[in-house]
Amino acid sequence: MNHLLEIKDLSVAYGDVQALWDVSAHVDEGTVVSVVGANGAGKSTLMRAISGLLEPLSGDILFRGETLVGVPAQEITARGISHVPEGRGLFTQLTVQENLELGAYLAHVRPHFAASLDHVFTLFPKLKERRGQKAGSLSGGEQQMLAIGRALIARPKLLILDEPSLGLSPLVVRQMFELIARLHDEGVTLLLVEQNIRQALKAADRAYVLQTGHVAMQGEAAALLENPQVQKTYMGALD
């Protein structure tokens, strides 16, 4: 079976510091895949390599059978990968509406803008109320919604969410995971990076556990959730 996204023996460095060694992974269409691990495990590095913000040292990234290595970031977006980066990457000086318009920057997306905008406003009614407001004036949860909404405008074939729950209150975190479940039901393919491992595994079909730049474990998310080693290392379970 052909995977939507396939990562083969990927090694990536940040300047002189290597952050990923021979990572292999795949994402199938319509599934939610979580990448979990401690701080500095290389999760965000992996996402940045996929969306073209970092150039790999070696290995390959295939999206619908074509390589993404050496392809500029804006071209990768055009091919259907939207990345909501850690820290959201919002344009704080622009209004909510303008941020969403930027989500429709690509020529092939623009004709669908009105319909996509309606969809995003249905998912996030708050954004509709605040469309004229500067993005920087929104609360943390609203900013995260705006970042995800902007990514959805482009109708991506693969949506990458990097730490969407970071710095949000428990109630908003719960809403965030409800949203992920809803997107999953709508058939959106999701690659989710999380430190909140229990939640991330519950939301996912498959998962990868990264440890200091290597894939330490992988498999069905439900099985990993029951895995005693995962429970011990990442969820603080007692022996």
Q: How far is the CB of 130 from other proteins (least distance, A)?
A: 10
Nearer to other proteins by Cβ, of 110 and 174: the residue is 110
**Does the footprint of other proteins cover residue 93 (CB under 8 A)?**
yes
Q: How far is the CB of 30 from other proteins (least distance, A)?
A: 23
Nearer to other proteins by Cβ, of 58 and 74: the residue is 74
The DSSP code sequence of 2-54 is --SEEEEEEEEEETTEEEEEEEEEEE-TT-EEEEEESTTSSHHHHHHHHTTSS
**Does the footprint of other proteins cover residue 74 (CB under 8 A)?**
yes
**Does the footprint of other proteins cover residue 155 (CB under 8 A)?**
no
Report the alpha-carbon distance of residue 12 to residue 49 in Å, rounded: 7
10-69: contacts with other proteins (CB under 8 A): 51-53
Q: How far is the CB of 228 from other proteins (least distance, A)?
A: 38
Answer for which of 35, 46, 61, 90 binds other proteins (CB under 8 A) is 90
Nearer to other proteins by Cβ, of 58 and 137: the residue is 137
Q: At what angle do helices 140-153 and 170-185 cross, to 10 degrees?
A: 20
Residue 196 backbone dihedrals phi, psi, to 5 degrees: -80, 80
**Does the footprint of other proteins cover residue 105 (CB under 8 A)?**
yes
**Regarding beta strands 32-37 and 190-194, do their DSSP bridges make them parallel or antiparallel, or are they unpaired?**
parallel
Report the alpha-carbon distance of residue 174 to residue 195 in Å, rounded: 14
Q: Which two tokens mark 75?
A: 């071209």
Residues near other proteins (CB under 8 A) are 51-53, 72-74, 77-78, 82-83, 85, 89-94, 98, 101-103, 105-106, 109, 133-134, 137, 150, 154
